[in-house]
Amino acid sequence: MTHAYQEIYLSNAQSVLGDAFDYAVNMCGIPGEDFVKLFCGSSVSRRMENGEPSLLSGKSGIEIAIEVVVETTGKHLETEPQERMERSIEYWIGWAVAYYQWYSSRRYGDIFKALSYNDLQKMYYTLHEADITKFVDITDERIREYFKDTNLKRIRTTYGCTQAELAKLSGVTLRSIQMYEQRRKDINKASAETLYSIAKVLGCSIEDLIER
């Protein structure tokens, strides 16, 4: 699987986002759901998704939170950070979601659509001491439940192409395309040639078609 960016930045990304959520929610009093909206609506989230080194290893979580709020609201957070001996629920939320974003290459906005802030708070009590792979598995399932359409169907309809047109242009049989979209056939096991042919028609990458 291709991850969002190089793994050397992952630990920093987790700590940065964890600290950002902890500072914004616990020290500045911003409701968690509100900070999620601000974060996902900012350029900061998109730059983190792309693994921008200046964010992942060049700034602290507090600086990230301040930048998010300034960019989206024009307000400055001036609350003095306080040293905390234990990791908070909010820290874990940022830490875990940053891992899943790296692992899956999904947009933060999509992750938080499938899992609300309240959902993540509840997950903390059973998962914060578990291996992160358990969080990944549960989040994968929630993503599949929320985004019921396959990536192929979503991209094809956005492109404005019918199944029949895609079949004709790509050389992949109509039946195969239908089965991929119905999840009756696993597109992850399709040949590289098939994936390339479909991706070329739809103007996307092969990775965009893969179901995670």
Number of domains in the chain: 2
Residue of 99, 88, 85, 86 whose CA lies nearest to 121: 88
For residue 123 the two structure tokens come to 């997950």
Q: Is residue 1 part of a domain?
A: no
60, 117: one domain: yes
Runs of H (alpha helix) within 77-191: 89-104, 108-114, 117-127, 132-146, 151-159, 163-170, 174-181
Contact 4, 49 (CB under 8 A): yes
40, 117: one domain: yes
60, 11: one domain: yes
**pTM of the complete model:** 0.76
Contact 187, 211 (CB under 8 A): yes
Q: Which of 96, 111, 146 is the last residue of a domain?
A: 146
57, 126: one domain: yes
Q: Which of 129, 146, 163 is the last residue of a domain?
A: 146
Buried b (16+ CB within 10 A) or exposed e, 152-183: bbebbeeeebebeebbeebebeeebbeebbee
Q: Which of 146, 166, 183 is the last residue of a domain?
A: 146
Buried b (16+ CB within 10 A) or exposed e, 99-121: bbbbbbbbebeebbbbbebeebe
Q: Is residue 61 part of a domain?
A: yes
Residue 107's H or E segment, with its range, is none
Q: Is residue 2 part of a domain?
A: no
Q: Is residue 82 part of a domain?
A: yes
**Structural domain containing residue 133:** 7-146
pLDDT given for residue 1 in this prediction: 59
37, 92: one domain: yes
Q: How much is the mean pLDDT over the chain?
A: 92
176, 126: one domain: no
| DSSP state letter for 58 | T
15, 120: one domain: yes
Q: List per-residue pLDDT tens for the chain, 212 residues long.
A: 568 899 999 999 999 999 999 999 999 999 999 999 999 999 999 999 989 998 888 899 999 999 999 999 999 988 888 777 789 999 999 999 999 999 988 889 989 999 999 999 999 999 999 999 999 999 989 988 888 889 999 899 989 999 999 999 999 999 999 989 988 888 988 999 999 999 999 999 998 998 87
11, 114: one domain: yes
Span 28-43, pLDDT tens digits: 999 999 999 999 999 9
99, 194: one domain: no
